[in-house]
Amino acid sequence: MKLLRYGDAGAEKPGMLDADGTLRDLSGVVSDIAGDVLSDEGLAKLRDIDPASLPKVDGNPRLGPCVGNIGKFCCIGLNYSDHAAETGAAIPEHPILFMKANSAIVGPNDMVMKPRGSTHTDWEVELGVVIGKAAKYVSKEDALDYVAGYCVINDVSERHYQSQLTGQWTKGKSCDTFGPTGPWLVTRDEVADPQALAMYLDVNGKRMQTGNTQTMIFTVAEIIEHLSGLFTLQPGDVISTGTPPGVGMGIKPTPVYLEKGDVMELGIDGLGVQRQEVGQDA
């Protein structure tokens, strides 16, 4: 299934895409794509619904983040061997974890706003993992059973804030609008192998990132095992699993960063496409 949320920011309704790509309204069935709806039992109930019985949604409404009421937004850094190489960083021994503030989360096609005075805003296409049930001390062999589904995330980053403002990466990762999520949550039964997904990101129509989740240093299952050994992962928590090469920071000899009016388009096989125009906070 492809589950999504549509409507004005802060007032999104739950929806489902049918086999023809028609948006169907789920608000008569569930209140949101969140919490218990993401459990195996909750998803099974939705799977039993005939999409044709649901009201069609007319027009082309705004898409919100595909998960509502996200608890934790966990991010993994330097998790692609080819991206680590382009940055000159050593391969990490354990998953590098940082958190992105939930206030950064926006819809997949919402505008991305450069912070006031920013000159180093960068792009990062990433595979998002949505947790469906509480996970504590989970083994990697069982880890994928705790996944509700997958989505596209743009882990937008302000590199100066990230590395020069003293402190953790969170400073450069948590600016408002720096977490476009969606367009939809694709349930795990429709993703045969999360370690075999091609991904890309274009800026102004030019291909900047081309990658595949097969080059992850730590797999989705290994990440869940590691994180669930540190704290409980709850339904609706999101893990952004790292980015392949081609970020602006890694361009030689001179890095390239986003400017007002730039357009990013990014996607992952089977998980949909995002598109964001870049604005500038006054």
pLDDT at 108 over 90: yes
Tell me the average pLDDT across 168-196. Answer: 94
User: What's the number of CA atoms in the CB half-sphere (13 Å) around residue 176?
Assistant: 8
Could you give the CA distance from residue 17 to residue 136 in angstroms, rounded to a whole number? 32
In this prediction, residue 104 carries a pLDDT of 98
Residue type for position 220: V
Q: Residue 255 and residue 67: Cα distance in Å, rounded?
A: 33
Rounded mean pLDDT, 220-242: 98
Q: pTM for this structure?
A: 0.96
Distance CA(168)–CA(163), nearest Å, equals 8
Tens of pLDDT along 16-54?
999 999 999 999 999 999 999 999 999 999 999 999 999
> In the numeric block, which tokens belong to residue 213?
């989740």
All domains of the chain in start order, with CATH = 2-53 (no CATH), 73-280 (3.90.850.10)
Mean per-residue pLDDT over the chain, rounded: 95
Distance, first Cα to last Cα, the chain: 40
List pLDDT tens digits, range 123-181.
999 999 999 999 999 999 999 999 999 999 999 999 978 777 766 777 888 999 999 99
CA distance 212 to 199: 6
State the pLDDT at residue 166.
Answer: 67
Q: What is d(CA 204, CA 281) in angstroms, rounded to the nearest whole number?
A: 20
Query: Quick count: other Cβ atoms within 10 Å of Cβ 186?
Result: 24
Q: How far apart are CA 14 and CA 1, in angstroms?
A: 13
Percent of the chain surpassing pLDDT 90: 89
How far is C-alpha 129 from the chain's CA centre?
7
pLDDT of residue 66: 98
